[in-house]
Copies of this chain bind each other. A is one copy, B any other.
Amino acid sequence: MRFNPRTSSDGVTEQLFTLDEIPGVLWTPEDAAGPRPLILMGHGGGQHKKAPGIVARAHHFVAESGFAVAAIDAPNHGERPKGEEFARIVTEMRGRAAAGEDATALVLAMHSLLAGQAVAEWQAVLTVLQQLDHVGAGPVGYWGMSMGCGLGVPFVAAEPRVGAAVLGLLGATTLAETAARITVPVQFLLQWDDELVPRAEGLALFDAFASAEKTLHANPGKHGDLPRFEIDSSLRFFARHLG
């Protein structure tokens, strides 16, 4: 793993890194020493490791609770090269969307295409980050909405080091079976007026998790309208289970 120099603002240190071909970023408290909970954040489709929502949430988590937070560019996203099949699916998705047609099947096909690689990458990144003195082998959480949920459900189901997850903004169609293997506490966010995910599909994905403790938070608004107070609610959920 190669690390870039650290930069700090408002008590939060940011450090870009590269593991093999995976570009990532780690946020920790400026004076961090010793192990602490680590939250892995999966960005949404078309976004990247430093999308504004990821950065804002990471800063809040680090500043308020002293957690470490890491994000990586998903395959074919951010600084990473785009593969041919991915490019073909995206072109077709845009075509359907422009024609006013439903592109859901293509979105889910794209998640399936990326999931296997994404799970292995998160596992490799997690292993290396936990060797750092100021992260350590503490409790691990995962946060991911939309594509970050589509890649996160298989990751959380496969990875026993993850002890709690905040997921959401996606439906059960291709994920219900995998979700039924997840038993750690889950907080699931659903937008009541989501134009991309039918309400019944979202409720069905919440229903599918095998977790004894799971909480659905539903709020009015469209896919991109998650209310700001859910940032703090996610942190409290992680603090309750990992803190």
Contact = CB atoms under 8 A, between A and B. Distances in A.
Interface of A: 192, 203, 206-207, 212-220, 227, 229, 232-233, 236, 240
B206 A214 contact: no
Contact of A212 (B206, B216, B220): B220
This chain: copies in complex = 2
Contact of A216 (B217, B227, B233, B240): B217
A218 B220 contact: no
Contacts of A217: 215-217
Dominant secondary structure of chain A at its interface with chain B: mixed
Nearest to A237: B229
Contacts of A229: 240
A232 B233 CA distance: 11
B219 A218 contact: no
Contacts of A213: 219-220, 227
A213 to B, nearest CB: 7
Contacts of A233: 233, 236
A141 B219 CA distance: 20
Contacts of A214: 219-220
A34 to B, nearest CB: 28
